[in-house]
Structure 1
Amino acid sequence: MIFDHFLRPRIFIDAAEPADAARLAEIHATGFARGWSEDEIEALIADRTVFALALKRESRFGTRRILGFVLVRLAAGEAEILTIVFEPAARGRGYGRLLLEEVLRRLYSERAEAAFLEVDEGNAAAGTLYRRVGFVEVGRRKGYYRHADAAPSAALVMRLQVR
């Protein structure tokens, strides 16, 4: 039906602002054993070498809610994806790929040569996403991620040639 188009929520990717830090910290805590605090996130957003993007869903009434975000540090032609995380209800819907593709477009326009990230070897969904967009494993950090109810797991260091 034609009205479905108008009733469906719209997705936007905008710059995250310091005022968003509380929401970003709330989301980050759902994805990691040690979430970053509001102050830590606010400090990263304020860092001139870091850019922050938030994926937002707009309701039928025009309000926008942040579902996930990414923080990226760019220096000397190389980028590091510091974190990318979504609230639990937004995971597995393709939003991570949308956000990651926007990051890569921005890195390309900023003339970045390569992008790096670390991912928990046990996070199969994230690992699959990163490989699908072209990241390759270039290293491992054994026992990097600590888990409350499981043995520590390795961080896979991944790299993507942007240019």
Structure 2
Amino acid sequence: MSVTLRGLTDDDLDDLVAMEQELFGPGAWSRQSLAEEIVGPGRWYVGAESEGALIGYAGLWFDGDDAQVMTVGTRPEAQGRGVGRLLLDALLDRARELRAGAMFLEVRVDNDPALALYRRAGFEQIGLRKRYYQPENVDAWTMRKDLT
């Protein structure tokens, strides 16, 4: 599968909303939240495209010191094919370009594929947030990767 990365725009909102619903169900961001997020201050969002279709997306937030992974999502049919890692690597590259000292993220404790992806990329668990994910009240691992 050939995958290219590109910046996300308002033209991608229909696809983003559909992917959010597919991946996160009741916890999915609304169209309005996504529209604000992809152009928000300190935000950088990238999409993964294959054969003209958006198959994944990822975003980061940079506060001037550290970066935070906002999301990495891949359509189910593209999972396990390296798309998530390609997106995560793009976020890490961008954080390094911005001279971020570290990258942080939060991931559901029961999301084994995402946890494996982040561990392979060198992220370490640093804490546990109780009932972080709403409305399911699922705990989340807080993870960190040093970029210096």
Partner of residue 37, structure 2:
44
Q: Report what 2:144 is aligned to.
A: 159
| Deviation at residue 73 of structure 1 after TM alignment | 0.7
What is the 5 A alignment of 1:59-98? 64-98=52-86
TM-superposed deviation, 1:32: 1.3
Over the matched positions of the two proteins, sequence identity in percent amounts to 31
* C-alpha RMSD of the superposition: 1.4
The equivalent residue for 2:126 is: 138
Deviations, residues 19-41 of structure 1 (Å, cap 9, x unaligned) = 21221111111111311112111
Give the distance between the partners of 1:134 and 1:112, measured in 2 at CA: 16
Q: Distance in 1 between matches of 2:98 and 2:129?
A: 29
**Which SS does the other structure have where 1:27 is aligned?**
helix
**Any stretches of 5+ residues in structure 1 without a counterpart?**
1-8, 59-63
Partner of 1:24: 16
Give the TM-score normalised by the residue count of structure 1: 0.84
Distance in 2, matches of 1:104 and 1:71, equals 10
User: Runs of 4+ in structure 1 displaced over 4 angstroms?
Assistant: none
Bigger CA radius of gyration: 1
Matched length: 147
Secondary structure of the structure 2 residue equivalent to 1:47: coil
**Matched-pair contact (CA < 8 Å) for 2:45–2:58:** yes
Q: What amino acid is the match of 2:92?
A: L
